[in-house]
Structure 1
């Protein structure tokens, strides 16, 4: 590969990453609650996306590929952190960093807080399901990203919705 091809590949990757940067932000925010941890995870995701970019198939949607990589990195990140020393973080600190500034209604903000707490308590795969579902992805897209069947996605989302209704 010559220098021009390398530069073109890097520019193409940077443009796609910039266009879809919200995915990295959302995934990092879902799996890391402390600002420094979120930044580290976002950098880790971006680095893995770059390392994996040569294997990206342009015939497939970039966002789906990106979600798959980002979620795999985030899940690995969570697993590594749970094996090491536990870093306690107060829920109030995490809520402050992730609260929706547009939610002026106190009751609505309480519901958002409860939903964040519920999501935070879920296993990594369920967090991914909720993240993608709340982003209005189709069951087919979610299945592609997570590598499970659409039927499995529908079943898991149905169960999660019921748990949310029961617990919140």
Structure 2
């Protein structure tokens, strides 16, 4: 990967990639692996970008797809090696703001798709754009965001595990 491509096409969107990778990993090592794989896939796939959406939208979608693929692959490997999947969520201490750490712990308790939706919502993406990235319509996203917010409130208030 050339440094020019990384500097111009990936680095400006690093915050997006970091947030998505953080939401789907529990350890720093996994985070670094996911981040590296997302960057590699962006580089490998950049010729497939057709310009039908914004570059940032494409980055979101690709990042989500890579993270979900890696998550499924890792879960299969854990089950295949007869390990009990670790369902406990490690405390997240990746941010200076403690409330942000609590939010990410709560987000990690959501389903994979709900995590993606709320991350995009927190990035202030429109329901239309979230729908494009997720592959559904804006009305569906509006309903799901409302339900996700209610679930997160319950999780953060300690009413749901």
TM tier, shorter chain? 0.7 to 0.9
Whether the 8 Å contact between 1:34 and 1:89 is mirrored in structure 2 is no
User: Are residues 1:83 and 2:76 paired?
Assistant: yes
CA distance in 2, matches of 1:152, 1:146: 11
2:117 corresponds to which residue?
A: 129
Corresponding pairs, count: 150
Give per-residue Cα distances to partners, 1:1-57, cap 9 Å, x unaligned: xxxxxx8xx844641112111111111111112111101001111111112111112
2:138 corresponds to which residue?
A: 150
CA distance in 2, matches of 1:37, 1:53: 24
Contiguous gaps of at least 5 residues in structure 1? 1-6, 104-108
Alignment of 1:45-56 (within 5 A): 45-56=38-49
CA distance in 2, matches of 1:133, 1:82: 26
1:163 corresponds to which residue?
A: 151
CA distance in 2, matches of 1:131, 1:43: 20
Kindly indicate which of the two structures has a greater share of residues assigned to helix: 1
Alpha carbons of 1:159 and 1:87: their partners in 2 closer, same or farther (altered >3 Å)?
Answer: closer
CA distance in 2, matches of 1:67, 1:160: 19
Alignment of 1:6-45 (within 5 A): 11-12=4-5, 14-45=7-38
Alpha carbons of 1:89 and 1:123: their partners in 2 closer, same or farther (altered >3 Å)?
Answer: closer
Q: CA RMSD in A?
A: 2.3
CA distance in 2, matches of 1:141, 1:43: 25
CA distance in 2, matches of 1:58, 1:132: 20
Q: CA deviation at 1:122?
A: 1.3
